[in-house]
């Protein structure tokens, strides 16, 4: 998981950053322990209001926090099998955020309050498969093979 976080922080030039990984905590407003407690989830923050000024036109990476978050979401989804992406939660969209799951291969916009912090939350919650979360070498190797979004 640490290797995964470092790859994204480095490749986004810090536009996305780690806002919580191995924290053992309860899900906000819920009784059960968060997947964060298992060490295979991360919250990556970005700033959606002001542009981060970070981007790389030569690699097609846009400037601005929200645009980068969308670009990275697309990258993670088209490389989901390679990277072991199981779940992405996007706290920003109205009215209640959205979630992408590997078993359904698509975003679902939540119709009822589902995510504490949505809408307008400026972070993505990402969960990796247990095997990828525990294998730094496999994560680094996978990132050398990712296909970039258009």
Binding site for Zn ion (CB under 5 A): 43, 125
- Which structure tokens are listed for 31? 């009784």
Q: Which is nearer to Zn ion, 43 or 90 (CB)?
A: 43
Task: Please report how close the Cβ of residue 59 comes to Zn ion at its closest, in angstroms.
Answer: 27
Q: Which is nearer to Zn ion, 40 or 125 (CB)?
A: 125
Task: Please report how close the Cβ of residue 125 comes to Zn ion at its closest, in angstroms.
Answer: 3
* Residue 111: exposure state from Cβ atoms within 10 A (0-12, 13-18, ≥19): exposed
Task: Please report how close the Cβ of residue 1 comes to Zn ion at its closest, in angstroms.
Answer: 12
Task: Please report how close the Cβ of residue 57 comes to Zn ion at its closest, in angstroms.
Answer: 30
Q: Which is nearer to Zn ion, 71 or 123 (CB)?
A: 123
Q: Could you tell me the maximum CA-CA distance found in the chain, to the nearest angstrom?
A: 46
Concatenated DSSP letters of 65-125: HHHHHHHHHHHHHHTHHHHTEEEEEE--STTT-EEEETTTTEEEE-SS--STT-SS--EEE
Closest residue to Zn ion, judged by C-beta, is 125
Q: Which is nearer to Zn ion, 116 or 148 (CB)?
A: 116
């Amino acid at each position: 998981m640490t290797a995964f976080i470092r790859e994204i922080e480095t490749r986004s030039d810090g536009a996305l950053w780690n806002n919580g990984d191995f924290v053992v905590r309860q899900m906000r407003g819920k009784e059960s322990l968060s997947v964060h407690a298992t060490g295979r989830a991360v919250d990556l923050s970005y700033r959606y209001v002001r542009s981060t000024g970070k981007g790389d036109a030569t690699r097609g990476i846009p400037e601005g926090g929200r645009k980068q978050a969308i670009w990275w979401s697309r990258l993670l989804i088209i490389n989901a099998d390679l990277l072991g992406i199981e779940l992405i939660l996007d706290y920003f969209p109205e009215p209640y955020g959205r979630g992408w799951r590997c078993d359904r291969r698509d975003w679902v916009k939540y119709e009822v309050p589902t995510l504490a912090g949505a809408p307008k939350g400026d972070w993505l919650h990402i969960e990796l498969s247990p095997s990828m979360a525990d294998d730094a070498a496999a994560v680094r190797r996978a990132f050398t093979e990712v296909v970039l979004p258009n």
